A and B are shown apart, each in its own frame.
Chain A
Amino acid sequence: MLLESSILEDGTTVVSLQGRMDVSGTQEIELPLTTRTAISKAAIIVDLSGVDFLASIGLRALVSNAKAQELRGGRMVLCNPQPAVEKVLASTGIDTIIPVFRTRSAAQEYLLPVLRKLRR
């Protein structure tokens, strides 16, 4: 799997994932994903547009990082899932505990209050 991250002008961190989030794929990005999403308090968008397969091991990585970020006082959300991946998120109920957006701009808008809180 590939992982790319950048920080937007408003301070939101965007982590883009690419590839199969199966056992081997998830292992490849587990460490960099955690360092970018769970180590320090931030507003994070994980862009899933390049993820074409998502298994339970991948869900586990997303949930544990989102949870860690929440405990730090920030928030991690997901955006742009492919239809099949969206189905996996929905059928496991993960989309009810981690917000999922169709577009990156919708995710950014949702994170605005979090960013304001972080700046204070």
Chain B
Amino acid sequence: MARTSRRLRLVARLDQVGQATHWAMDLAENQGLGDALRFRIDLVLEEALTNIAKHAYDEGEPGFVEIAWQPGRNDGVILQICDWGHPFDPADFMPAAPAQDLASAQPGGLGIGLIRQFADQIDYARIGDRNRLTLMLKPESESPDAALPRQDATAVPQRRERASPSSASEYPLDALQQAQLLRGVPPDRIADLMHDCRRKTLCSGDYLIAQGQINHQVYIVLSGQLSVALLSDGSRVELALDAGECVGEMSVIDGKPASASVLAKTDAEVLAIPEEVFWSRLVTQPRVARNLMSMMSQRIRRQNAHELEILEQELRYLHLAKEIGVAHDIQMSMLPQPPLLDGHSTVDVDSLIQTAEVVGGDFYDTFSLDEERICLIVGDVSGKGIPAALFMMRVLTLLRTHIKKKRRLEKSLFKVNNLLRQNNPTHMFVTALIVVVDLTSGRATWVNAGHSEPVLLRSSASKANRVKPLRAPKGILLGVQANIEFKAARVSLRKQDTLMLYTDGVTEAENSTQEQFGEERLMDYLGSRPFDSATDLVRGVREQLNLFVNGAQASDDITLLALVFREPKRRRVTRRPKQSP
């Protein structure tokens, strides 16, 4: 299954902050970070995002915030938080001096101070039009999590035995009477039975028995807690053993090596009963034999219940994996398959979509409005997984339906945006670029709803001017705010001109050193050679991207859609009967 994405993009709004901290806590848990560090990550992220949600963007013009998670050195974490709002360097912000008393205290203004105190290192940079805040957090060395020794069942067993010899008077009768194995046996019998047994103390983390070890002792836990760790198929099952329980009897009974490792979870004390004593003096007692059998059957029951639980989990997982596969299939089947706009011989269109996760957020669409006009769309839905896939289907359907109504493109988008706002409790949104091309005149009309700008490749221009991003009023993303008026822009396509639409996964593709592909590299490549078809172009760009990322794991979907305007379509002339003069 797909790993949890290490990059999250949200609308910078207070009600989205919880989603981000939740996401970060999941990653922290996956990375096995301790409680104290997790609390600090939770806090600095909460404060940084609250600050951005409140101050980065002007009221009524919500923008994005993007968070990247990177495991740092020595179990630390590096959080990078970007927004495209007003420049803000936290170093310039002077937190108010702590108030002398409650009467003079000002509520609020504590967030930045908290970030400074709970992050180990803070770095701020203004890069182009965005703020980039980098927060580094390391585990505290004195935290109890760091102090605990790591327990690994495959490690060489270490023994620190103490106080081995003991006399009969030292037998802890009280503890033994409570032992499962000895239940119902009179105290004086126990003392007698225990002749030749040893007491053994263990420090937390010590091994009593290692998996695979030959064992000739049965142990009764007198105090503390032991843990039975079973490694099989790469998974680890742990069972706790408390005072009174016993361990080792299985390998003593069947003479096989220990089936699991047993180690001390806390400082503990056990009584070691040698094999001979177990056989000759313990099991021969009817009461003990009965206790032993009831212990064994309890253990089998426990094991069965556990296996049933694992089986259920596996079934649930398989079901989920299948469901995600279905969502992916449905999503892909919504997108038109090549050859695109096959009925229009005067244009050549091709696309490419590459999803980073099983169910991604990118999409494209191509369809005809009538014989002379075609529509091309590229977009990116917020979020991942099944909810994003379902939202995408809604977006695709709404766009197709409303653009086909042939009203002005701006009006169609106004309508679609308002419809997407409805029944959208999780605040999903979508960025999109929509182009309508009139095939007879070559006039392309487009609207940009918070998306990357399209690129125009002029066939006739000089090399320097051949490639241009089409700058135009960038509208707000769809689904966020009601009653947005979109502005359309226009450009005339001439013979052999090419239009390319793409998603930000292209320009933001990163190589292993976190460098982005960027718009400049894209433009340079597009200007570097002529392309003889839409297919040639999208494949060429993909090759460049693959060379650049060089095997680094993609964090976002990549979508390209290209149109080559071969020649204007001849208008079908309807002849009117000649009128006599």
Highest count of chain A CB atoms <10 Å: which of B36, B98, B105: B105
Interface residues of chain A: helix, strand, loop or mixed (majority)? helix
Does A101 lie at the interface of the complex (its beta carbon under 8 Å from any beta carbon of B)? Answer: no
- Given contacts A67-B103, A96-B98, whether A53 and B42 have CB atoms under 8 Å apart is yes
Task: Please name all residues of chain B whose beta carbon is closer than 8 Å to the beta carbon of A70 when the two chains form the complex.
Answer: 102-103
Partner of B17 from the list A22, A60, A66, A84 (CB cut-off 8 Å) is A22
Task: Please name all residues of chain A whose beta carbon is closer than 8 Å to the beta carbon of B101 when the two chains form the complex.
Answer: 97
In the complex, A61 Cα to B108 Cα: how many Å?
Answer: 8
Task: Please name all residues of chain A whose beta carbon is closer than 8 Å to the beta carbon of B390 when the two chains form the complex.
Answer: none
Smallest beta-carbon distance B464→chain A, Å: 50
B102 and A67 form a contact (CB under 8 A): yes
Q: Report, as a range, how many residues of chain A touch the other chain.
A: 20 to 34
Partner of B105 from the list A23, A53, A56, A63 (CB cut-off 8 Å) is A63
Task: Please name all residues of chain B whose beta carbon is closer than 8 Å to the beta carbon of A67 when the two chains form the complex.
Answer: 102-103, 105, 107
Task: Scan residues 78-101 of chain A and give those whose CB is less than 8 A from a CB of chain B.
Answer: 84, 88, 91-94, 96-98
Does B99 lie at the interface of the complex (its beta carbon under 8 Å from any beta carbon of A)? Answer: yes
Highest count of chain B CB atoms <10 Å: which of A56, A88, A93: A56
Task: Scan residues 1-18 of chain B and give those whose CB is less than 8 A from a CB of chain A.
Answer: 14-15, 17-18
In the complex, A97 Cα to B108 Cα: how many Å?
Answer: 14
Interface residues of chain B: helix, strand, loop or mixed (majority)? helix
Does B358 lie at the interface of the complex (its beta carbon under 8 Å from any beta carbon of A)? Answer: no
Q: Which of B111-119, B189-197, B405-413, B466-474 contacts A (4 or more CB under 8 A)?
A: B111-119
Task: Please name all residues of chain B whose beta carbon is closer than 8 Å to the beta carbon of A39 when the two chains form the complex.
Answer: none
In the complex, A97 Cα to B98 Cα: how many Å?
Answer: 9
Task: Scan residues 72-101 of chain B and give those whose CB is less than 8 A from a CB of chain A.
Answer: 98-101
In the complex, A96 Cα to B98 Cα: how many Å?
Answer: 9
Does B43 lie at the interface of the complex (its beta carbon under 8 Å from any beta carbon of A)? Answer: yes
In the complex, A71 Cα to B103 Cα: how many Å?
Answer: 8
Does A24 lie at the interface of the complex (its beta carbon under 8 Å from any beta carbon of B)? Answer: yes
In the complex, A93 Cα to B106 Cα: how many Å?
Answer: 12
Does B46 lie at the interface of the complex (its beta carbon under 8 Å from any beta carbon of A)? Answer: yes
Task: Please name all residues of chain B whose beta carbon is closer than 8 Å to the beta carbon of A103 when the two chains form the complex.
Answer: none
In the complex, A17 Cα to B406 Cα: how many Å?
Answer: 57
Task: Please name all residues of chain A whose beta carbon is closer than 8 Å to the beta carbon of B108 when the two chains form the complex.
Answer: 56, 60, 63
Smallest beta-carbon distance A51→chain B, Å: 12
Task: Please name all residues of chain B whose beta carbon is closer than 8 Å to the beta carbon of A6 when the two chains form the complex.
Answer: none
Task: Scan residues 479-526 of chain B and give those whose CB is less than 8 A from a CB of chain A.
Answer: none
Using CB atoms, name the residue of chain A closest to B51.
A56
Does B317 lie at the interface of the complex (its beta carbon under 8 Å from any beta carbon of A)? Answer: no
In the complex, A94 Cα to B308 Cα: how many Å?
Answer: 51
Task: Scan residues 306-326 of chain B and give those whose CB is less than 8 A from a CB of chain A.
Answer: none
- Given contacts A23-B17, A56-B50, whether A97 and B105 have CB atoms under 8 Å apart is yes
Interface set of B (CB-CB < 8 Å, partner A): 14-15, 17-18, 21, 35-36, 39, 42-43, 46-47, 50, 98-103, 105, 107-108, 110-111, 113-114, 117-118
29 contacting pairs across A/B (C-beta < 8 A) = A22-B21, A23-B18, A23-B50, A24-B15, A53-B42, A53-B43, A55-B46, A56-B47, A56-B50, A56-B108, A56-B114, A57-B50, A60-B110, A63-B102, A67-B102, A67-B105, A67-B107, A70-B102, A71-B103, A84-B35, A91-B114, A91-B117, A91-B118, A92-B98, A92-B114, A93-B99, A94-B110, A97-B105, A98-B102
What 5 A-B pairs have minimum CB-CB distances, sorted nearest first? A93-B98, A64-B107, A56-B111, A56-B110, A63-B107
Q: Give 6 A-B pairs besides A23-B50, A91-B114, A98-B102 with Cβ atoms closer than 8 angstroms.
A: A23-B14, A23-B15, A24-B18, A53-B39, A55-B46, A61-B107
